[in-house]
Amino acid sequence: MAAMTVDEISAIEDRHPQIFQRPAYKRFWPLLLIAGTVLYLGYALWFFSLPQVLRESHWERLPLFLSQWISYDLQPEFRLDQPEITPKYPRFSALGENPDPDWVIKNPDGTYTVQIDGEAKSVTFDKTKATITANGVTVPIALTGSKPVVTGPVPDWVTVHDDEIVAKLGFAGEVRVTVDRVKVRKRFLGWANFVFDTRSPFFGKPYSEVISLIVSGPELKPGTSNLALAADNFWNNAQWQHGDVWTKLLQTIVMAFLGTLLGGIVAFPLAFFAARNITPSGVLSQVLKRFFDFMRSVDMLIWALFFTRAFGPGPLAGSAAIFFTEIGTLGKTYSEALENIDDKPREGVLSTGANEILVQRYGVLPEVVPVFISQTLYQWESNTRGATIIGAVGAGGIGLKLWEAMRTNSNWANVFYMVLLTLLVVFIFDNISNVLRRRLSRTLHDYNRLQAEQG
């Protein structure tokens, strides 16, 4: 490689001074930006007292919550101080009124066996002793004294507390033993009673039986067809509330649709008066633009709270909030689109002596309508997402239901169900809007090309 001489190097430097001798602020601004960001992050760390928050957080709950999204548990309890040992289930358990699961076995010798994960993870007990089997190890526990005692070595998945012995069996569940009771938690993958709840006459029946009942069975409830009864039982499922969830979801969709559409309808005429090239009055244009800014800057939250107070909680309040915000957003984007149009078609129509309205109709509209529709669709799409959040402050829709289900920390499966439905809706609407916008953009593209070809 031929080496450059000093003269050549300085000649290049002289030819391109803007590259080699940049002002100091231009050379150092990336460094300054990074330093500023680091300083700000340090400040944020202190502001949110992040180390303390993280120290006090309960990350061990995360896998538990996540597993609750897709599973449910049953917690039978066996009292040992009664004359006879009988399993007791919490009220409203997923097993219904008369639980008799096949994983709780009463042995011929009077002992009980609870299979938590088949034979491999199980507990067998009577009033004097309990035996926990898991991970290939058998742990005998004597229950005759004043507190339970493990006879033999204690494996690391068993914790001995003062008066209770806890065996954690991973995802499958856990066993808690004291001298007077054995408590089992068994976890199942899936959603319990998703179709019919425990009060339904169809509860606990296999699908084939349910279908044959619906098709040709005797009426389970006199005067109602089995199909209507099944639909009613599904819709009013007490645990999953399908009817309520779907209605709320529809409300969310309606809020986004109605708010965006009304916003577009109101913003459309206003945008013409706000566009500087169409309206000769500078004052009117400025007033309208500031009005759009105002509607946008008074946040959707504020509008939502106001309208919730005015109309009461519900989708009307949510629609109104989106409507008011959209007047600002769409008004701004519409008027910007109008200001960017090509003036020649307008002048052409004007030169034929057409009046103001006809000039807008034939000189301006054909150019901006695809842009308007495209932007409105984009806002509709983003409002469908946004409507979920403002629902949580009482503005209707699925948001509030989600928030309430989460607040109790116990209903994560329901939360996940609603999230899945929301994701589905967002996905469908994204795609509809994308397809429509792509078709429009083809129109726009053709139009632009045509203009370019005609010079």
Partner 1 sequence: MTLSTTIHSDPTRQQADAWRRQTSLRRFYTALGVGLLLVAMFATMWFADEANAGHFYDRLPHTLDFLSWLVPKDWNDVWRALFDIASPNDKGTQEFNFPLGRVYIWGGFYIPEYFELMLTTVNVALVSTFIGFVFAVPFSFIAARNLTPSPILRLVVKRFMELLRAFPEIVIAGLFAAIVSIGPVAAIIAIGLHSIGALGKLFYEINENIDMRPEEGLRAVGANWFERVRFADLPQVLPNFMSYTLLRIEINVRISTIMGAVGGGGIGEELKLAISRGFGAKTLALVLLLFITIFLVDQFSAWLRRKLVGEQAFLMSA
Which residues, numbered 26-65, are part of the site for partner 1 (CB under 8 A)? 37, 40-41, 44, 47-48, 50, 53-54, 56-59, 61-62, 65
Site for partner 1 (CB under 8 A): which residue of 21, 159, 409, 451? 409
CB of 313 within 8 A of CB of 392?
no
Q: Say how many residues touch partner 1, by CB under 8 A.
A: 80
Q: How far is the CB of 249 from partner 1 (least distance, A)?
A: 12
Q: Is 26 exposed, middle or buried (0-12, 13-18, 19+ CB in 10 A)?
A: exposed
Residues 6 or more apart whose CB falls under 8 angstroms from that of 318 comprise 251, 252, 255, 259, 304, 307, 387, 390, 391, 395, 396, 397
- The single residue listed with the structure tokens 């957080």 is 57
- Specify whether the CB–CB gap between 104 and 114 falls below 8 A: yes
Indicate the residue among 219 and 293 with the shorter CB distance to partner 1: 293
Contact call for residues 376 and 262 (beta carbons, < 8 A)? no
The alpha-carbon radius of gyration of the chain (Å, integer) is: 34
* Contact range with partner 1 by CB under 8 A, out of 89-97, 209-217, 351-359, 385-393: 385-393
Contact region for partner 1 (CB under 8 A) — 88-96, 101-109, 124-132, 400-408? Answer: 400-408
Question: Residues 100 to 159: which contact partner 1 by CB under 8 A?
Answer: none
Q: Is 118 exposed, middle or buried (0-12, 13-18, 19+ CB in 10 A)?
A: exposed
DSSP-derived 3-state class of residue 89: coil
Site string for partner 1, 199-238 (x = CB under 8 A): ----------------------------------------
Q: Residue 255 interacts with partner 1 (CB under 8 A)?
A: yes
Tokens 């042995």, located at residue: 107
Under the criterion CB under 8 A, does residue 392 sit at the interface with partner 1? yes
Rounded to a whole number of angstroms, the minimum distance from the CB of residue 282 to partner 1 is 20
Query: Which is closer to partner 1, CB of 239 or CB of 260?
Result: 260
385 part of the interface to partner 1, by CB under 8 A: yes
Name the residue with tokens 């495209």.
Answer: 374
Task: Tell me how far, at minimum, the Cβ of 338 lies from partner 1, in Å.
Answer: 13
Nearest to partner 1 of 234, 306 (CB atom): 306
- What is the spatial distance between Cα 440 and Cα 11, in angstroms, rounded to a whole number? 53
Nearer to partner 1, 150 or 300 (CB): 300
- The Cβ-side half-sphere exposure at 133, using a 13 Å CA radius, reads 13
Using the contact rule CB under 8 A, the part of the chain among 16-24, 126-134, 216-224, 397-405 near partner 1 is 397-405
Residue ranges in 298-337 that form contacts with partner 1 under rule CB under 8 A:
298-302, 305-306, 309-319, 333, 336-337
| Binding test (CB under 8 A) with partner 1, winner from 194, 234, 257, 291 | 257
Token digits of residue 361: 């109709």
By CB under 8 A, residue 434 contacts partner 1: no
By beta-carbon proximity to partner 1, the closer residue of 76 and 386 is: 386
Q: Smallest distance, Å, CB 35 to partner 1?
A: 14
- Interface with partner 1 includes 293 (CB under 8 A)? yes
Binder to partner 1 among 341, 371, 380, 413 (CB under 8 A)? 371
Name the residue nearer to partner 1 (CB basis): 214 or 444. Answer: 444
Enter the DSSP assignment of 3.
P
Beta bridge partners of 79: 181
Q: How many CA atoms lie within 13 A of 111 on its CB side?
A: 12
Q: Which is nearer to partner 1, 177 or 255 (CB)?
A: 255
Our finding on whether 362 is near partner 1 (CB under 8 A) is no
* String marking each residue 259-278 x if it binds partner 1 according to CB under 8 A: --xx----------------
Q: At its nearest, how many Å lie between partner 1 and the CB of residue 400?
A: 9
Of 98, 261, 122, 256, nearest to 182 (Cα)?
122
> How far, in Å, CA of 10 to CA of 18, rounded?
14
Cα–Cα distance measured from residue 115 to residue 178, given in angstroms and rounded to the nearest whole number:
19
Which amino acid type is present at position 318?
G
Q: Which residues contact 451 (CB under 8 A, 6 or more apart)?
A: 342
Between 134 and 317, CB nearer to partner 1:
317
